[in-house]
Amino acid sequence: MISLDGKVAIVTGATQGLGADIAASLHAAGASVLVTGRDAERGAAVAAALGDRAAFVAADLAEDEGIAACLDTAVARFGRLDILVNNACLYVDPGFGATRADWRRSLDVNLVGPALLMAQAADLMPSPGGVIVNIGSVGGKFGAAGRMLYPASKAAIMQLTKNAAVTLAPRGIRVLTVSPAWTWSPALESMAGSEDRADRVGARTHPLGRVGRGGDVGDVVVFACSDMARFMTGGDLAVDGGYSVLGPDQGLGPRPWFEGEGE
């Protein structure tokens, strides 16, 4: 078991879904966790379910006040800050139909807010010893028809990880990206309806035969934040069931497609 006893973590966008699962994994490993997000009712419920060593603060990363609330509450409640997980994200993406306001809102939450939070959080972290994990996505690695805002922001957050890693390395603060593929969440549930169906459909694009679960991602975040990953920084940890190793032929090669199997 990896132990994060005595560590304090902020997890943004943790009022439901993947963020809540990451918060639970960090908490189970012994960390004190500040759950943040815009939905006060859900966020308070997540923190209450975790129990001791957990708290919630309502925060919108598109606002400077929200960033300050995350940091101030973590220090006031737990006395320090060791870990930041930038998970908060807007998924709304009208593609080419997006307005300038849509772009600004998306990038404010998905990129600018996390960048500002990283810079300010680093000043509160132990040097050496602090860890920042940015949640990426296979969406930031490949093209997807009809989408623009979300993939662009995820590609940018992965680049931001590299720059921050080099910038903060002299201070002994590590920065990594953890990138899921399709992961069971409210967003995926709205498309699939059930976990079984999500797994059946996802098996075609994930060599391990199913979609991810929040705990799959949370466990890797715990590893990234631990001393077991002490010589890792700037990289991307793919938690995607093999999704990112497949080409457009889904790993089958050309023959099945020409024989009709891929049609």
- Assess contact for 21 and 48: CB atoms under 8 A: no
Candidates 3.40.30.10, 3.40.50.2300, 3.30.2320.30, 3.40.50.720; CATH matching 8-258: 3.40.50.720
Which pLDDT score is estimated for 190? Answer: 93
257 pLDDT above the threshold of 80: no
3-state secondary structure of 56: strand
- Assess contact for 173 and 127: CB atoms under 8 A: yes
Alpha-carbon dihedral sign for residues 52, 53, 57, 59 = negative
Question: What pTM value is reported for the model?
Answer: 0.94
What average pLDDT does this structure show over 237-257? 87
252 pLDDT above the threshold of 60: yes
Polymer length in residues for the chain: 263
Strand ranges, E, within 128-225: 131-135, 174-180
Would you please indicate which residues are annotated as catalytic (active-site) residues?
150
What are the structure tokens assigned to 224, written together? Answer: 């990234």
Q: What is the pLDDT of residues 47-92, one digit of tens each?
A: 999 999 999 999 999 999 999 999 999 999 999 999 999 999 999 9
218 pLDDT above the threshold of 90: yes
Q: What is the pLDDT of residues 12-56, one digit of tens each?
A: 999 999 999 999 999 999 999 999 999 999 999 999 999 999 999
Question: Among candidates 140, 129, 124, which has minimal Cα distance to 4?
Answer: 129
What average pLDDT does this structure show over 169-197? 96
Pairwise CA distance, residues 40 & 59, whole Å: 9
